[in-house]
Structure 1
Amino acid sequence: MKSFTIEEINTILGGELVGSTTLKITGPEQLDKAEPHHISFIGSTKYIKYWNNSKASAAIVNENLTVDLEENRALIKVKNADLAMAKLLEVFNPQPPVFDHEIHPTAIIHDSAIIGKGCKIGAGCYIGKDVVLAEGVILYPNVTIMDETTIGSHTIVWSGTVIRERTEIGAYCIFHTNVSIGADGFGYRPSEDGRGLVKIPQIGNVIIGNGVEIGANSCVDRGKFSSTIIGDGCKIDNLVQIAHNCELGRSCIMAGHSGLAGSVTLGDGVIIGGSASIKDHTTIHSGATIGAGSGVMGDVEAGKTMLGYPATESREMLKQWVALRKLAKQ
């Protein structure tokens, strides 16, 4: 078990140590569940009240907060407690699963595939024709990589993920369990006789930039005749749907259960809240935020925050909610 003195932790974080504790810190924990060997964090005033009843011997605290100290307890004051805790979590992060073989004997790898130096391929993986894995790629057991796919260096793909043919993936990406990349887009039209549906072939692909992370059970469908594009640094939560021909700029965030219909365009730094739905052929410009559960029916200007269903500019929507409450009381 890893353990550190409070002084060692402060050296890692580069904060201001206030007070002291003789106890070794064996891990981080939230205030109400912490034991004496834990360190917790206080990022806003609403959590200060929990500190007095917490058993934690130390806490990482935003430097603008005033927090009381008792004997044998310590605070590490930093500019941003959330970011400091993220750095500390890296220190305590357990080692990932061990590979007994760099390439497991049960993995099926096509003769034409190119496997880079230092790649690790788990049991039951399938790697198709003309696939290229750059150096340091890790495929956990039961990953499927279909023909002509390329994956950049040090990308990690967790078990159950299927990456369909012709996908292009950058470096340092992470795909969690059961992600689907490059499945058919959802395209149908009524048949001429009106008695059925005609499937529209989806012959494009998916292009994913560098440093992209996609959560468990999320889907990115391939384009109808060009590419679905996920820009560098995008972070996609679990259970997210990105439909055919969508284009995401850099560093977009999509929270769980949100979804983009076909041909949606997101600028850089767009944030989509949980369970939000975006209509097809809509553009959300850079820096915009879509609140949780909102339904976007048209284009959104850069930097705007939208709320509600249908989504409306946040200040206007808040006024509507206030008016409805007043009306309900009459």
Structure 2
Amino acid sequence: MKSYSVNEINEILNGVIVGTTSQNITAPEQLEVATETEITFIGNKKYEKLWFLSKAGVAVVNEDISIEPGENRAFIKVKNADLAMSQILALFAPPAPVFQSDIHPTAVIDITATIANGAKIGACCYVGPNVKIGESSIIYPNVTILDESTIGNNTIIWSGSVVRERCHIGNNCIIHPNATIGADGFGFRPCPEKGLVKIPQIGNVIIGNNVEIGANSCVDRGKFSSTVLGDGCKIDNLVQIGHNSKLGRFCIMAGHSGLAGSVTLGDGVIIGGSASIKDHTTLGSGSTVGAGSGVTCDVPAGKTVLGYPAVEARDALKQWAILKRLVNDSKK
């Protein structure tokens, strides 16, 4: 079991220790359930009151905290407790699954594929013709990478994922279990003779560096040209990204959200859970879409929209307030 003193932890955080404790810390835990040997986090002043109900021995807190730790307890004050939390979690993280050999004997790798130094490929993987896998990338068991796709350096692809033909994933990416990169876009047209005719999807997917895609998410290939995810994008579980969509850098999409075809996101766009974005719309850089909203038209840069159909947040809140008053008046 890993165990660290408060001083050892603070060597990583470079914060300021307030209070003292004789306890060594064996794990991080949320504030309400942490025990004496666990470290927790207070990232917002509204949670300060919970400290007195918690049994945690140590808390990482923001510099503006207004309470004292108490007897045999300590705070580590930092500029940003949420960012410090990521360092603590990395410190206590258990080791990754072990590879007994760099390339498992049950993996099927085409003779034309290129596997760089340090790459690892797990059991029952399939790596197709002319695939390139970069240095130190890890392909966990039961992953399929089809023809002419490329995987950058230090990228991790978890079990069950499929990278279809001619798709390209950059460096330092993480693809979580059962994600699909490059599925056919949803393209059909009515035909008097045949009912619905499938429109061939002949493009691909291009994913930049430092991108993370959650479990069971799907990024459709372009009908023509590419569906593109810019550097640093973070995609949650169960997200749908439609064909020919273009995401700028550092976009965030929360779970169950979706982009229809040919949606364009600027840099730093945030889309809340279960939000849906109509095809051929543009969301400007720095815009935010609230959870559960339905966007049917372009959103200017920096704006926040809410509701279904989505409107500017300020207007949505006014509408909801009026509706609430109407309901209350009807009950009188």
Fold shared per TM-score above 0.5: yes
Match of 1:33, SS state, is coil
The match for 1:22 is 22
1:298 has 2:292 as partner? no
> Which residue of 1 is the match for residue 112 of structure 2?
112
Report the counterpart of residue 216 of structure 2 in structure 1.
Answer: 217
The two structures have a TM-score, normalised by structure 2, of: 0.98
Structure 1: distance between partners of 2:260 and 2:65? 43
* Unaligned 5+ runs, structure 2: none
Q: How many angstroms apart in 2 are the aligned matches of 1:69 and 1:248?
A: 44
The equivalent of 2:73 in structure 1 is: 73
How many angstroms does 1:142 deviate by?
Answer: 0.2
Deviation at 1:68, TM superposition (A): 2.5
Q: What TM-score does the superposition give when structure 1 sets the normalisation length?
A: 0.99
Q: The residue matched to 2:53 in structure 1 has which SS?
A: coil
Structure 1: where are the runs of 5+ without partners? none
Look up the match of 2:243.
Answer: 244
Equivalent AA in structure 1 for residue 257 of structure 2? S
Q: How do 1:112-191 residues align onto structure 2 when only pairs under 5 Å count?
A: 112-191=112-191
The correspondence of residues 27-106 of structure 1 with structure 2, limited to 5 A, is 27-106=27-106
- Partner in structure 1 of residue 273 of structure 2: 274
Identity %, equivalent residues: 66
How far off is 1:192 after superposition? 3.1
For the residues of structure 2 that align with 1:70 and 1:188, how far apart are their CA atoms?
A: 65
2:12 aligned with 1:5: no
Write the deviation string for residues 80-116 of structure 1: whole angstroms up to 9, x where unpaired: 1101111111111111000011100000000000000
Q: Any idea what the Cα deviations from partners look like across 1:14-71, whole Å, max 9, x if unmatched?
A: 1110001011001110111111100111111221111111110110111111122221
Question: What is the letter of the counterpart of residue 246 of structure 1?
Answer: S
Aligned partner of 1:117: which letter?
A: N
Which 4+ stretches in 1 moved above 3 angstroms? none
Whole-angstrom CA distance in 1 between matches of 2:124 and 2:188: 34
One-letter amino acid matched to 2:215: A
Residues 247-283 of structure 1: CA distance to partner in whole angstroms, max 9, x if unpaired? 0000000000000000000000000000000000000
